[in-house]
Amino acid sequence: MKKVYYPGVILYLILITACSMVDVEKPEGFAEARSGGMYHAVSPEGVRYRVRYVKNYPVKEIDFWQKALKIHLEKEGYDLVSEQVYQTGDKKGVFFEWGAPYGHENYIYMTAIAVFGKKIAIAEAAGEYSLFHKYKEAIISSLQTIRLR
């Protein structure tokens, strides 16, 4: 099985870690683990999903971070496949699906963000194209349960 590594995301946010615990429901079909304030889950076939919080610095709303994330990953060479809005409680979130060829296979790298005042929830998922789509609805359902604890 090939390993999929998550690339750096969201400009300066990667450098500013947060210690808030992630409150999210497990996607159906995944096994989960929590460590150091980060949530990890993996499907039996190796589709990976993680959620964490970072500081909202500089303090901006979702529209700013949506544009920043999109520009950053496009500059990194990812091909945008889709961009969709979702709701998590009373907060608006956005997720992107990016095409990422790896060897002779195509992978999907999903990035999602939602702003919770002084914190931003960042979710990432990745897997081989057909496997990712097998779990896509379960991942989106999980995104909709993200809360700040």
Per-residue pLDDT tens digits for 81-96: 999 999 998 999 999 9
Confidence (pTM)? 0.84
Average pLDDT over residues 118-131: 96
Q: Write down the mean pLDDT value for the chain.
A: 88
CATH code for the domain in which residue 109 is found: 3.40.1000.10
Q: Name the DSSP letter for residue 85.
A: E
Assigned domain for 40 exists: yes
If one compares 74 and 102, the residue with the highest pLDDT of the two is: 74
Assigned domain for 46 exists: yes
Handedness of CA 28, 41, 25, 114 (dihedral sign): negative
> pLDDT value at position 148?
81
Assigned domain for 62 exists: yes
From CA 107, how far away is CA 10, in angstroms rounded?
A: 20
HSE-CB for 80 with a 13 A CA cutoff: 13
CB 148 within 8 A of CB 121: yes
Which tokens is 136 given?
Answer: 């896509």
Assigned domain for 1 exists: no
pLDDT band (50, 70, 90) for residue 22: confident
From CA 37, how far away is CA 23, in angstroms rounded?
A: 10
How many CB atoms lie under 10 A from the CB of residue 130?
A: 11
Assigned domain for 47 exists: yes
From CA 109, how far away is CA 125, in angstroms rounded?
A: 6
pLDDT band (50, 70, 90) for residue 20: low
How many domains, the chain?
A: 1
Q: Name the DSSP letter for residue 12.
A: G
> pLDDT value at position 141?
97
- Domain extent, residue 106, equals 11-130
Assigned domain for 2 exists: no
Task: With H, G, I as helix, E, B as strand and everything else as coil, classify residue 31.
Answer: strand
> pLDDT value at position 73?
95
Assigned domain for 42 exists: yes
Torsion of CA 87, 26, 46, 33, to 10 degrees: 120
From CA 13, how far away is CA 23, in angstroms rounded?
A: 20
pLDDT band (50, 70, 90) for residue 101: confident
Instruction: Work out the percent of the chain whose per-residue pLDDT is above 90.
Output: 75
> pLDDT value at position 16?
40
Q: Does position 6 have pLDDT exceeding 80, yes or no?
A: no
Assigned domain for 141 exists: no
